[in-house]
Amino acid sequence: MKKKGRLPGIRAKFYAAIALGMALAGLSIAAVQSALPLLSGAAREQVAQWEESYAWVYFFAFALLALSFASLFTRSLIRRIEKMGETAEAIGRGDLARRTGDRSVDELGRLARHIDEMAGRLEASGERERQAEAEKNAIIAALSHDMRTPLTSLSGYLEMAELRLNPLLKPLRREWESDSGKGEGAVPIGEALRCIGSARRKTGELKDQAERLLDYALLGADGREADFAVFEPETLLGQVIADFLPELERAGMRAERRSRPEAKGAKVLGDPALLARLLGNLIENAVRYGSSGGLLSVRTACAEGFLTIEIANDGEPIAERDLPRVFDRLYTGEKSRGADAGGRGLGLAIVREIARLHGGRAEVRSGTEETCFKIVLPLAPDPSES
């Protein structure tokens, strides 16, 4: 505990610097006054008259010299304060490995050690969070991987049962579809087929969610950048749209594609398989929630070193309260990612994670005219410029 009346170290250093600066300024003025008769060659009486007439010059010279000397003596203290400010700013930006390195015993030294200790605790906490996240992703990946095999087998058995029951139903179909509907065997077989069909659809949904969980868990794995290559997203986008043409036709939607001239031939550095999954998730989302509008619009453009891909639909807009969270993991909004519509809050989370992995970002806007998901990716560096 600090004793009452004891002068703090850093305050004492400032006071000492000011006092020493004033003392040196006074000595400098006195030296100038003593040497002025010799330097000017004038009599002391004449010099005294000059000093009396221009006393204000001595005052300003004394103030300037005192400030200069005090600034010189406190320069090391100011540097320490500036370094602590820079360190705190770096820590605020996320550079938790930054330290002040100040080991002084005064107040600034204690403050610097507190900053270093705080950064150390934050770094340790961040490391624990990263380890916990890695363990969680490993568990999710293992469970998702283990779920896919039984779900695939179950789907296959249900398909086999449906194929074998269909021939049995054909002789009874006419009676099943007649107004009387008195066939004793048609009703049970028809109900069985409907149940099997529903089970197959639910099994397919579970398998799809297991694959999405696996993809999401593996996105943060180290070494994904090793699969990156330079390619043209325009070509990939055309392939993905072609794969979705049957689904668009079933949903009663038509695809409209518009590319700015500068976007044609543009290249990015990334993983084509991951970006295909990103585009597929966005188109699937547009088909699921935009079929009421009937239009899927795909637009590409380039500006300021970035490629933008917009996938829009003119269906019902996303609720305003859902917009800030549509990319959040496991968030299912009323309209945008509702579980009733088949979403589980993973498709758009995967989109954002893939965009982030490629150094880009995912955005969304929605209104009465359209709902538009925008992907921004950095263009690949031009080899000719290196």
* 76 lies in the same domain as 160: no
**What does R_g of the chain's alpha carbons equal in angstroms?**
37
Dihedral sign computed on CA atoms, order 255, 256, 262, 264: positive
What is the pLDDT at residue 268? 93
Residue 344 lies in a domain: yes
- Where in the sequence is the domain holding 148, given as residue range(s)? 133-219
Q: What is the SS3 assignment for 43?
A: coil
Q: Measured between alpha carbons, how far is 210 from 217 in angstroms, rounded to an integer?
A: 11
- CATH for 161: 1.10.287
Average pLDDT, the chain: 78
Task: Please provide residue 205's backbone torsions phi and psi, each rounded to the nearest 5 degrees.
Answer: -65, -45
Residue 125 lies in a domain: no
* 161 lies in the same domain as 214: yes
Residue 324 lies in a domain: yes
What is the pLDDT at residue 4? 46
What is the pLDDT at residue 294? 84
Q: What element of type H or E holds 369?
A: none
- CATH for 369: 3.30.565.10
Domain count, the chain: 3
* 246 lies in the same domain as 344: yes
Residue 124 lies in a domain: no
Which of 196, 219, 242 is the C-terminal boundary of a domain?
219
Q: Which residues in the chain come in under a pLDDT of 70?
A: 1-9, 36-44, 46-47, 51-52, 137-146, 148-149, 168-190, 192, 212, 214-227, 330-345, 383-386
Total residues found in the chain within this entry: 386
Secondary structure (DSSP) of 305-353: TEEEEEEEE-SSPPPTTTGGGTTSTT---SSSS-GGGT--S-HHHHHHH
- Model pLDDT for residues 68-89, shown as the tens digit of each residue: 888 888 888 888 888 888 888 8
Which of 167, 185, 219 is the C-terminal boundary of a domain?
219
Q: Measured between alpha carbons, how far is 367 from 360 in angstroms, rounded to an integer?
A: 24
* 189 lies in the same domain as 93: no
* 233 lies in the same domain as 210: no
Written as one letter, the residue type at 84 is M
* 155 lies in the same domain as 282: no
What is the pLDDT at residue 307? 95
Residue 123 lies in a domain: no
Residue 288 lies in a domain: yes
* 233 lies in the same domain as 292: yes
Which of 134, 155, 253 lies closest to 211, judged by CA?
Answer: 155
* 202 lies in the same domain as 297: no
Residue 364 lies in a domain: yes
* 241 lies in the same domain as 338: yes
Residue 126 lies in a domain: no
A 10 A CB-CB count for 379 gives 18
Which of 219, 238, 272 is the C-terminal boundary of a domain?
219
- Model pLDDT for residues 287-300, shown as the tens digit of each residue: 888 878 788 999 99
* 249 lies in the same domain as 375: yes
State how far the alpha carbon of 257 is from the alpha carbons of 242, 290, 296, 366, in Å.
12, 16, 8, 19
- Model pLDDT for residues 303-340, shown as the tens digit of each residue: 889 999 999 998 888 888 888 888 887 666 654 444 44
* 90 lies in the same domain as 17: yes
What is the pLDDT at residue 337? 43
Q: Measured between alpha carbons, how far is 337 from 322 in angstroms, rounded to an integer?
A: 9
* 91 lies in the same domain as 214: no
- Global pTM reads 0.54
